[in-house]
């Protein structure tokens, strides 16, 4: 009996140690620590290990756009077609995160561009929902079905319209014309009610640096707001579009501006766990003592983000 209890205790300790190692492995992957990922895999970590949502390390790396880690994990034999509890693949995570080069890499490795989640939403619909036009164009170029519909009856263009992503919708219209004619087609005209101020919000969110710069040069207001009083800087901060942020700041964007919930650009960067964006905004003078920044950091519980804020002077 004592021997059996002893064996059970040893097995429990081994299991706890294994869970701890897996947690550290996932944290390193999410943070973009390639050397850490290599070390854990070299020590025998399963490249297809899962977290509590059955997400693999490949999915997390794809969402964050850590292409070096994506390559490392794939080289170790990770399942490119693995799915989480909702049926999401690594390609879907990359598309959701707007990671164009990661999407390209995964497709080159053989990812299915027409894969669908449990609700029948396709990769293209996911990109449309987030307004990632470049990702959508690449998916279509690689054979994504533009007319597919999910269980709610929505197609990719409907998802784009629902999210107010006019540029994405225009891109699909253009691609549909090209598919029908087999040749060059003029880009469909934007709706007449489309306002330059709304365009700045859309392009900032999509990370379109050249378009943001052009709109600002044409006189667009950096402090334009959406229905939740979010500014272009806030949207870019949440998505981690640092080049767009720099352009907006150079044009005089207000770091201290707040939305309807009192969130600032730095709060959005913290909510999105965008470490480099957090550093950029703090260096630019963002208020690290903001109550919303601390509250969101604690609520999200991302250890890398909390560590960075603590290093920058926030008291937890």
Q: Tell me the pTM.
A: 0.55
The CATH number of 113-194 is which of 2.60.40.720, 3.40.50.2300, 1.25.40.20, 1.10.3720.10?
A: 1.25.40.20
- 246 vs 174: which has the higher pLDDT: 246
Give the CATH fold of the 196-311 domain: 1.25.40
Distance CA 111, CA 292 (A): 39
**pLDDT given at position 228:** 74
Question: pLDDT per residue over 173-185, tens digit each?
Answer: 888 877 776 654 4
pLDDT over 60 (residue 17): no
Torsion on CA atoms 244, 249, 252, 255, rounded to nearest 10:
110
315 class by beta-carbon count within 10 Å (0-12 exposed, 13-18 middle, 19+ buried): exposed
Q: Rounded to the nearest 5 degrees, what angle is found at the Cα of 45, between the Cα atoms of 41 and 49?
A: 120
Distance CA 295, CA 300 (A): 9
Q: By percentage, how much of the chain surpasses pLDDT 90?
A: 55
Cβ neighbour number for residue 112 with a 10 Å cutoff: 17
- Asked if 113-194 and 196-311 have one fold, the answer is yes
Contacts of 164 (CB under 8 A, 6+ apart): 131, 198, 202
Indicate the domain borders of the chain: 113-194, 196-311
């Amino acid at each position: 009996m004592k021997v059996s209890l002893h064996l059970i205790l040893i097995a429990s300790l081994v299991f706890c140690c294994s869970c701890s190692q897996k947690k550290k492995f996932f944290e390193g992957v999410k943070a973009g620590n390639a050397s850490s990922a290599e070390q854990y895999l070299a020590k025998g970590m399963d490249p297809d290990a899962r977290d509590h949502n059955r997400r693999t390390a490949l999915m997390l790396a794809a969402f964050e756009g850590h292409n070096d880690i994506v390559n490392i994990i794939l080289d170790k034999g990770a399942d490119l077609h693995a799915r989480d509890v909702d049926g999401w693949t690594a390609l879907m995570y990359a598309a959701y995160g707007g990671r164009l080069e990661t999407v390209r890499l995964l497709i080159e490795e053989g990812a299915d561009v027409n894969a669908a989640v449990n609700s029948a939403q396709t990769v293209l619909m996911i990109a449309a929902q987030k307004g990632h036009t470049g990702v959508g164009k690449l998916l279509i170029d690689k054979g994504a079905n533009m007319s597919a519909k999910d269980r709610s009856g929505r197609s990719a263009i409907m998802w784009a319209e629902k999210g107010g992503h006019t540029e994405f919708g225009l891109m699909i219209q253009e691609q549909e014309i090209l598919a029908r004619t087999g040749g060059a087609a003029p880009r469909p005209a934007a709706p007449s009610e489309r306002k330059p101020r709304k365009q700045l919000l859309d392009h900032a969110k999509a990370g379109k640096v050249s378009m943001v710069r052009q709109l600002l040069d044409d006189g667009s207001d950096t402090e334009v707001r959406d229905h939740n009083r979010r500014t272009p800087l806030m949207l870019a901060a949440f998505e981690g579009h640092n080049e767009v942020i720099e352009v907006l700041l150079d044009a005089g964007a207000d770091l201290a501006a707040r939305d309807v919930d009192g969130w600032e650009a730095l709060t959005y960067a913290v909510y999105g766990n965008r470490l480099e964006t957090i550093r950029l905004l703090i260096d630019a003078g963002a208020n690290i003592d903001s109550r919303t920044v601390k509250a969101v950091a604690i609520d999200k519980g991302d250890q890398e983000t909390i560590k960075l804020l603590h290093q920058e002077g926030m008291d937890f």
